[in-house]
Chains A and B, each alone.
Chain A
């Protein structure tokens, strides 16, 4: 049977990590063994957060003055670049938005 009408996330574009971010108010996150599912009620898109640490980071964004500050606090140094890229993808697909 068909699964969803949703699209897979698009490639990253500009993302300003020095701004303050949060989970988009129209997005619902559902924890899963692989990370989380994210559904955007505005764009009707289904997306995947493919690891637990990424879910924790995304959920914590609203407690930090910038995405960079959240990453520096929560992510080991050698993994920060890939998490920044992951956030950029999530910003592009509006799972997170600047506050």
Chain B
């Protein structure tokens, strides 16, 4: 191609005037309580964006030519204006991909979704069997998700996605996940388990072992049709790069808008350290994206730090910022799941006092303010027809 001045990846690390896409979590309300929830969701926040404010964000995204939004939560379908907002987005040429636990995806709603352009649906499961899934997502959640998939298939929705967070327990079921997806003509989407939100508490026991990660890498290399959201780029240090841009896009080409309008560098760093601003401020989302000190600093050249002498730094870029932050590792050092084991060494040496934990959370609490243990069996099926 002519006039090539700079590799594209470097362009992207310096940031774009608008995100390529972004994650927009519509509500912290959730009728499940998954043990690895990246946003510690459960309770709706009273400060959540109003329907009018949410529509205004769509206007802004359309003006900025953001191609699509990844809508999540919480459970986004719990928002009363969910369909209104999705319809408004696609009418304004902002494509929608949304993640759901499926509990509210009735046959009627599946038909409604099937009639819309530019809407992708991702139904989340975290086990290929009810037992594996429900130990993470709550009793009955597997059956509910399968019902949602059945509803989408019956509505001729087309190729929906089945979204799986890869854990130590379900990594042995990759072929079974692929078989479930195939049975629906769906696409399988695997993403990395980060120690974010409630995942801070469960990551140590649930993140894949080093051996499992190597297996996962080879499994993915053989299946380029499996989507990953580019989330396993730390594994590219093992050899041939996985499909995708293989870079951390946080604050550069992606970001998160949370339910109260706070803008974070990415969905996995809901912490004040990575808070860039709020869409309710002067200049709205565009001003946060273009002018926040945090995002500007993320677009500066980053130090490789302790990874500088590693020959694979170009391949993995030091891995995931969120994974490092929430395990208490320095940001300019190895990823906790570094394929060469440097992360494990760093974890062993870390100062436990520096472990930040999850400060911002919307987990459900009992009437004394004590967090309710997760996953909790949730009674949602009787309300699924609402």
Binding site for B on A (CB under 8 A): 1-5, 7-8, 28, 30, 32-34, 37, 39, 41, 44, 46, 48, 50-54, 79, 82-83, 86
Query: Please, which residues of chain B bring their CB within 8 A of the CB of A30?
Result: 18, 65, 67
Interchain CB contact under 8 A, B3 and A5: no
Out of B3, B20, B248, name the residue touching A4 (CB < 8 Å): B20
Q: How far is the CB of B104 from chain A (nearest CB, A)?
A: 23
Complex interface residues of chain B between 234 and 256 (CB less than 8 A to chain A):
243-245, 247-250, 253-254
**B201 interface residue, CB < 8 Å from A?**
no
Interchain CB contact under 8 A, A28 and B65: yes
**B359 interface residue, CB < 8 Å from A?**
no
Q: How far is the CB of A51 from chain B (nearest CB, A)?
A: 4
Query: Please, which residues of chain A bring their CB within 8 A of the CB of B17?
Result: 32
Interchain CB contact under 8 A, A3 and B229: yes
If A3-B253, A5-B228 are given as contacts, then 16 extra A-B residue pairs at C-beta distance below 8 Å, sorted by A number, are A1-B250, A2-B191, A2-B192, A2-B229, A2-B230, A3-B247, A3-B254, A5-B227, A32-B11, A32-B16, A33-B11, A34-B5, A34-B8, A37-B67, A51-B4, A53-B3
**B322 interface residue, CB < 8 Å from A?**
yes
Interchain CB contact under 8 A, A5 and B4: no
Interchain CB contact under 8 A, B20 and A86: no
Query: Please, which residues of chain B bring their CB within 8 A of the CB of A39?
Result: 67-68, 95
From A4, A79, A82, residue with most partner B Cβ within 10 Å: A4
Q: How far is the CB of B162 from chain A (nearest CB, A)?
A: 13
Interchain CB contact under 8 A, A51 and B20: no
Cα of A2 to Cα of B255 in the assembled complex, Å: 10
Interchain CB contact under 8 A, A28 and B230: no
**B262 interface residue, CB < 8 Å from A?**
no
Cα of A8 to Cα of B248 in the assembled complex, Å: 17
**B151 interface residue, CB < 8 Å from A?**
no
Q: How far is the CB of B61 from chain A (nearest CB, A)?
A: 12
Out of A4, A33, A83, name the residue touching B244 (CB < 8 Å): A4
Q: How far is the CB of B31 from chain A (nearest CB, A)?
A: 25
Interchain CB contact under 8 A, B67 and A28: yes
Given A1-B268, A28-B93, A51-B4, check contact A41 B245 (CB 8 Å).
no
Cα of A32 to Cα of B16 in the assembled complex, Å: 8
Given A8-B243, A41-B95, A82-B1, check contact A2 B11 (CB 8 Å).
no
Nearest chain B residue, comparing its CB with the CB of A89: B1
Query: Please, which residues of chain B bring their CB within 8 A of the CB of A5?
Result: 189, 227-230
Nearest chain B residue, comparing its CB with the CB of A30: B65
Query: Please, which residues of chain A bring their CB within 8 A of the CB of B265?
Result: 1
**B120 interface residue, CB < 8 Å from A?**
yes
